[in-house]
Amino acid sequence: MSEPPTAAKTWRVLIADDDRLTRLMLRSVLEQEGYRITEVTNGQACLNEFRRSPPDLVLLDAMMPELNGFDCCVQMLSLPDTAHIPVLMITGLEDPKSVNRAFDAGATDFITKPIHWPVLLRRVRLLLEKSQLQAELQAANQQLKQLVMTDPLTQLANRRRFDQALAEEWRRAFRGNSPLSLLMCDLDSFKPYNDHYGHPAGDRCLQSVAQVIGRDIHRAGDIAARYGGEEFAIILPSTSTAGALHVATRIREGILNLGITHDYAKYGNQISISMGLATLWARQDLAPSLLVRFADEALYQAKAAGGDCCIIHSNANSGNRLDLPGLNLS
């Protein structure tokens, strides 16, 4: 007998076989190894149970009435997020055609009848361990991908993720014929804050501001990013200027409500933020860099106006379709 599964992970095995004695023997042997067992008597019942509660592994008899194991396997593995579940086909057929048919159906491995129990247990254990290892590797890769796209200080998207997301949303806006809004944000008088209060205090300030921004960006497609230094960028798909201005107002008020003292600010005595807003309808003859340019220019105006405000770019100020023959920039 193989070593039983660890207590940390009790795998569930779905057995599908129309032969009662085979099911009883499979259940008995596998339960002795610590596996949790669900058994069904035909292919359709197997498919229904698989859909209802996907197991960690399927032991599937190839020849069953109503829906045979080959067709059942194809249908199971065509369901969303199930391709990783191993299927061990049990067959009394070992001719090359049947073996190829099992693998073509998506079976991970096969074992022939009469069943050699030590071989079965070994294969079940190896398939489950391999499946678990692949899942852990996939999770680690996803985590690594997230880290590569995340600013370590603020936990917002980083510049790389921003550039990627802006290009994606620009294409989506073009296909969907919808407006795309962008907020470029910059903390007011942040260099004097860093100089007088120290970089650790500056980092804490950036983290607090990022929490406010992240809290007010809730839709699935919205992206808040640290653009660089004390500058942030917020992508708002399918959002008019009025909608984006509402978001900007919430963020501005949220940052003021932090009440972070700044005795060396050019205006006022606490941390505040300036924002530039631009909205465009994507077109084939325009690039997303134009949206960044407009939002940047509006941000420059907000800074020049004394900060703690949001300025809307005059050439991208409504979310309406825009004719830009001469680009009369504000």
Q: What is the pLDDT at residue 324?
A: 34
Contact, 200 vs 137, CB < 8 A? no
241: DSSP letter? H
pLDDT at 326 over 70: no
Per-residue pLDDT band at 216 (split at 50, 70, 90): confident
Separation between Cα atoms, residue 297 and residue 292, nearest integer Å = 9
Per-residue pLDDT band at 221 (split at 50, 70, 90): confident
Q: Which residues are catalytic?
A: 230
Residue ranges of alpha helices (H) inside the chain are 20-32, 43-52, 69-77, 96-104, 117-148, 159-176, 190-197, 199-215, 241-258, 288-304
pLDDT at 4 over 80: no
Q: What is the pLDDT at residue 176?
A: 92
Q: Judging by beta carbons within 10 Å of its beta carbon (0-12, 13-18, 19+), is residue 312 exposed, middle or buried?
A: buried
* Of 67, 65, 62, residue with least CA distance to 51: 67
The full set of domains in the chain, from first to last, is: 12-143 (3.40.50.2300), 159-312 (3.30.70.270)
Q: Cβ–Cβ contacts within 10 Å for residue 220, how many?
A: 5
- The pLDDT tens digits for 43-66 are 999 999 999 999 999 999 988 888
Percent of the chain with pLDDT over 70: 93
Per-residue pLDDT band at 311 (split at 50, 70, 90): very high
**Residue 123 tokens, joined:** 């294969």
- The pLDDT tens digits for 272-298 are 999 999 999 998 889 999 999 999 999
pLDDT at 17 over 60: yes
pLDDT at 139 over 50: yes
What is the β-pairing status of strands 223-228 and 36-40?
unpaired
12: DSSP letter? E
- The pLDDT tens digits for 114-124 are 899 999 999 99
Mean pLDDT of the chain, nearest integer = 88
- The pLDDT tens digits for 82-112 are 888 999 998 877 777 888 888 899 899 988 8
- The pLDDT tens digits for 165-214 are 999 999 999 999 999 999 999 999 999 999 999 999 999 999 999 999 99
Separation between Cα atoms, residue 120 and residue 211, nearest integer Å = 53
Q: What's the average model confidence in pLDDT over 245-269?
A: 93
For helices 96-104 and 69-77, give the axis angle rounded to 10 degrees. Answer: 20
Per-residue pLDDT band at 142 (split at 50, 70, 90): confident
Q: What is the pLDDT at residue 9?
A: 64
Q: What is the pLDDT at residue 316?
A: 57
Residues 6+ apart with CB under 8 A from 26: 15, 17, 37, 39, 59, 115
pLDDT at 126 over 50: yes
pTM above 0.85, yes or no: no
Per-residue pLDDT band at 138 (split at 50, 70, 90): confident
